């Protein structure tokens, strides 16, 4: 696009246009100033295609700073040098928007209680911050101290119970109670305590540290991770590299990232994926929603990648804590089934591939049965679709896990559908998982 502006000095309106054009050229075009055959000033401007679309819209003149010249001199035009100045042009408001603009600034709408405002993240961090602690555990070999493990934690009750990661406070080379020892705990206000690891679950990487205090301790409120959606704002807090009171913010990227997606073996686990910045020392620290509630425990990040951080959902953590209180450990029933959630699209695709696939609306597909497992002994077959578990209709693996709870050695009735809509009732007796194998 090429603009030609003539008689600039004599015409005040064109002088204003020149100021707009000059500002545009400063960022997005090329200008040439010269005189034409009639010895009149002429300015040629080459403008990029994206900017051309903006210039074709109606514009209002915005703010011009005091350093802006009132006009351009003939000498400046002859030399081809244009003075620089600050300029901000404001697009004209559509008619329907103009009607909604309040006449008086005092009539501006009040902030939405659930919207992200100027102080939303700061307020959320302030609610949880005092309860976030720095943890330090000496590491050694045969009694020789070789370093220390650092991490973070959150005080979750006034009795001094601190929620953190197992890998922060327990040596993974010693997976039993002999490795559980003392932890140095530092609060945000500078107070220090000696904590004791009272519970640790290696599979979920969740642990509880206990401290005793004669004065009240700050606590954080546990929220719910079940209501989170991708795109929700979250805050990661902790002590990365022992830098206390560190706060970073981001959004939830995925609410149910499976451990198999991350190449992690063992039993099935699910994580919250966020793009919050976390580093060594953040492990065990809280992931907080904008209401100032703990909705996850930061556990790991992907090395060599930005914006890939993971946390254990607080709903899973709450169940683990209940296991700790009830049994002192986490009891996990084992069936020996590999299961896949079914939805309408997957069912349609499976029916297209195999017309004999059972006619179901929802359920859990069993593609693999472990030989010699409780499920194998109960008569499960690859291709079965579980539609009822312990008398309740099911449509997801999560529902089966919740119904099964910590039932070990208790017979459970399971209804499955097979090829050509055969309906079969099986009885399976769960065994406790042996995670040391």
Summarize the confidence of residues 87-94 as an average pLDDT. Answer: 42
**What average pLDDT does range 378-394 have in this prediction?**
95
SS3 state of residue 96: helix
Check if 323 is active-site: no
What is the DSSP secondary-structure string of 337-348?
EEEEE--HHHHH
Whole-prediction pTM value?
A: 0.68
Q: What span, in angstroms and rounded, lies between the C-alpha atoms of 111 and 119? A: 11
Q: Among 136, 149, 167, 204, which one carries the catalytic annotation?
A: 167
Task: Indicate which residue of 149, 204, 253, 283 is catalytic.
Answer: 283
Model confidence at 260: pLDDT above 60: yes
* Best CA proximity match to 383, nearest among 355, 361, 404, 364: 364
The residue annotated as part of the active site, out of 205, 225, 309, 384, is: 205
Please give the Cα distance from 392 to 415 (Å, whole number). 10
Give Cα separations from 172 to 128, 242, 258, 321, 434 (angstroms).
Answer: 29, 21, 22, 20, 17
Rounded to whole angstroms, how far apart are CA atoms 130 and 143? 34
Residue 377: its H or E element: helix 374-378
167: annotated active-site residue: yes
Per residue in 26-65, pLDDT tens?
A: 444 444 445 455 555 555 555 555 555 555 554 443 343 3
Is the distance from CB of 193 to CB of 213 less than 8 angstroms?
yes
Structural tokens at position 255: 């609410």
Helix (H) / strand (E) element for 316: namely helix 314-327
Residue 157 predicted with pLDDT over 60: yes
Mean pLDDT over the full length of the chain: 79
What secondary structure, in 3-state letters, does 130-180 show? HHEEEEEEEEEECCEEEEEEEEEEEECCCCCEEEEEHHHHCCCCCCCHHHC
Residue 78 has pLDDT above 60, yes or no: no
Catalytic residue list contains 283: yes
Mean pLDDT along residues 303-317: 91
Q: How far apart are CA 242 and CA 146, in angstroms?
A: 18
Through-space distance between the first and last CA atoms of the chain, rounded to whole angstroms: 72
In this predicted structure, the answer to whether residue 91 has a pLDDT above a threshold of 50 is no
């Amino acid at each position: 696009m090429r603009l030609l502006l003539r008689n600039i000095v004599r015409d005040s309106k064109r002088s204003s246009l020149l100021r707009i054009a000059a500002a545009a050229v400063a960022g997005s075009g090329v200008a040439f100033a010269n005189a034409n055959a009639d010895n009149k000033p002429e300015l040629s401007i080459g403008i990029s295609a994206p900017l051309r679309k903006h210039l074709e819209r109606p514009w209002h003149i915005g703010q011009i700073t005091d350093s802006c010249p009132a006009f351009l001199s003939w000498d400046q035009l002859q030399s081809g040098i244009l003075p620089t100045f600050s300029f901000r042009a404001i697009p004209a408001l559509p008619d329907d928007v103009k009607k909604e603009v309040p006449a008086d600034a005092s009539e501006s709408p009040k902030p939405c209680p659930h919207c992200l405002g100027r102080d939303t993240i700061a307020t959320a961090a302030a609610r949880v911050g005092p309860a976030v602690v720095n943890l330090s555990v000496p590491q050694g070999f045969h009694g020789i101290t070789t370093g220390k493990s650092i991490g973070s934690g959150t005080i979750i009750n006034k009795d001094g119970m601190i929620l953190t990661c197992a890998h922060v406070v327990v040596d993974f080379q010693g997976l039993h109670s002999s490795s559980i020892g003392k932890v140095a705990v530092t609060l945000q206000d500078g107070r220090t305590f000696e904590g004791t690891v009272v519970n640790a679950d290696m599979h979920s990487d969740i642990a509880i540290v206990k401290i005793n205090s004669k004065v009240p301790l700050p606590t954080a409120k546990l929220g719910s991770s079940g209501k989170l959606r991708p795109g929700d704002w979250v805050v990661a807090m902790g002590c990365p590299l022992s830098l206390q009171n560190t706060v970073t913010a981001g959004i939830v990227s995925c609410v149910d990232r499976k451990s198999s997606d991350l190449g992690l073996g063992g039993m099935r686990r699910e994580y919250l994926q966020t793009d919050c910045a976390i580093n060594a020392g953040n492990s065990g620290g809280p992931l907080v929603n904008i209401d100032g509630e703990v909705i996850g425990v930061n556990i790991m990040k992907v090395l060599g990648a930005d914006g890939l951080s993971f946390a254990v959902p607080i709903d899973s953590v709450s169940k683990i804590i209940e296991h700790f209180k009830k049994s002192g450990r986490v009891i996990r029933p084992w069936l020996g089934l590999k299961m896949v959630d079914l939805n309408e699209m997957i069912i349609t695709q499976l029916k297209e591939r195999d017309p004999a696939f059972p006619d179901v609306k929802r359920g859990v597909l069993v593609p693999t049965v472990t030989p010699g497992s409780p499920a194998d002994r109960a008569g499960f077959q690859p291709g079965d679709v579980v539609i009822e578990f312990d008398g309740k209709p099911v449509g997801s693996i999560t529902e089966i896990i919740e119904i099964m709870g910590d039932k070990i050695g208790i017979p459970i009735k399971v209804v499955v559908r097979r090829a050509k809509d055969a309906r079969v009732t099986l009885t399976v007796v769960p065994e406790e998982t042996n995670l040391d194998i």
